Amino acid sequence: MRSFQVFGLGQCCLDYIGKVDAYPPPDVKCEFSDMVMQGGGPVATALVALARWGVSCTFAGVVGDDLFGSSIKASLDVEGIDTGGILVRKGFASQFAFIVAEPGVGRRTIFWRRPTGPPPNSEEIDYSLIRKAKVLHTDGFFIEASLAACRAAKEAGVPVVVDAGSLREGMLDLARLSDYFLASETFAKALVGADKPLEACYRLAGLGPRVAGVTLGPKGYVALAEGAIIERPAYPVEAVDTTGCGDVFHAGFIYGLIQGWDVYKSLDLAAWAAAMVSLKPGGRAGIPSREQLREKGYT
Ligand SMILES: Nc1ncnc2c1ncn2[C@@H]1O[C@H](COP(=O)(O)OP(=O)(O)OP(=O)(O)O)[C@@H](O)[C@H]1O
Ligand SMILES: [Mg+2]
């Protein structure tokens, strides 16, 4: 019987990233440089990092039967990730993003289109693979399927990690079913207002997860782990493009979970690996290698 350490369910995307000196006003012609094409999506990119670090992964998501869809699937296949759970929706388009990166300020602006095909329904998920996994990772994008997957994981005692990018409908139900809920600053702001990430952690922890955290880009992260407050700055780096930092932050955390590390060490790897990602354009090119992890003592 096949089994994988991490079951990922969520977004997979194709990102086109171009660099500009400064984000333009409307109605101008703005030349960009250094365009790269890379696979993206919070869960898909987290799985790429995990696969490069030797963790076996299976991914479930949706693409269309277009060129972007085949590139997205190929970008995961090449990493050795099982893509048997990707649903190809005939006649529909895949998720796509055009990203404008401003290296000077470490800022990026994302224009994106969601996949136009139907989301996975709860019968299209392979629950037997979830039950055999060590971690279920989801971004809640396909909320019905994500909730069903989380229930299956809970019943089987499989820990659930959530990458909460935006406060969409159902995300708080997902928090109730999760063990580790790590949200973005955007999510925290929508939940409790700006500049109150710790308050967001308390609110989220009140729903049940053992660890509730908020990532704050170059400002680092805050987390609440069974009552203990953890606040750390980001690793100081000259960021070129922060696309994928959040995705790989989650990968680092999951890697630590699988190794049986405590929350502090898992979050530390998360932040370091995320900082490394910001040094190269795109979410995947800068993922540190397994060898670099070892050199840094993350073993
Ligand atoms: N400019 C930066 N320098 C160093 N570390 C960074 C930088 N930006 C992000 N990070 C690290 O990555 C983590 C996650 O970043 P961020 O909060 O921007 O994720 P996000 O909002 O989910 O964005 P995305 O999903 O697009 O990656 C931060 O907590 C931090 O540790
Ligand atoms: Mg994110």
Instruction: Using the predicted structure, report yes or no on whether residue 96 has a pLDDT greater than 90.
Output: yes
Which pLDDT belongs to residue 67? 96
Q: Which domains does the chain have, with CATH numbers?
A: 6-286 (3.40.1190.20)
Do the beta carbons of residue 6 and residue 133 sit within 8 Å? yes
Q: Whose CA is nearest to atom 21 of ligand 1?
A: 184
Which pLDDT belongs to residue 1? 67
Instruction: Using the predicted structure, report yes or no on whether residue 294 has a pLDDT greater than 70.
Output: yes
Give the mean model confidence (pLDDT) for residues 82-90. 98
d(CA 56, CA 293): 17
Q: Categorize the per-residue pLDDT at 288 as very low, low, confident or very high, splitting at 50, 70 and 90.
A: very high
To test the ligand 1 pocket, which listed residue (219, 245, 268) has its Cβ within 8 A of the most ligand atoms? 245
- Show the tokens assigned to 128: 């037997």
Question: Which residues crowd ion ligand 2, with CB under 5 Å?
Answer: 165, 184, 246
Give the mean model confidence (pLDDT) for residues 174-189. 98
Q: Is the Cβ atom of 221 under 6 angstroms away from ligand 1?
A: yes
Burial category of 156 from C-beta neighbours within 10 Å (exposed 0-12, middle 13-18, buried 19 and up): middle
Q: Categorize the per-residue pLDDT at 240 as very low, low, confident or very high, splitting at 50, 70 and 90.
A: confident
C-alpha dihedral sign at 127, 93, 246, 198: negative
pTM score of the predicted model = 0.97
Give the mean model confidence (pLDDT) for residues 108-112. 93
Q: Is the Cβ atom of 209 under 6 angstroms away from ligand 1?
A: no
pLDDT-above-70 percentage for the chain: 100
Instruction: Using the predicted structure, report yes or no on whether residue 37 has a pLDDT greater than 90.
Output: yes
Indicate which atom in ligand 1 lies nearest the CA of residue 245: 27
What is the 8-class DSSP label of residue 295?
A: H
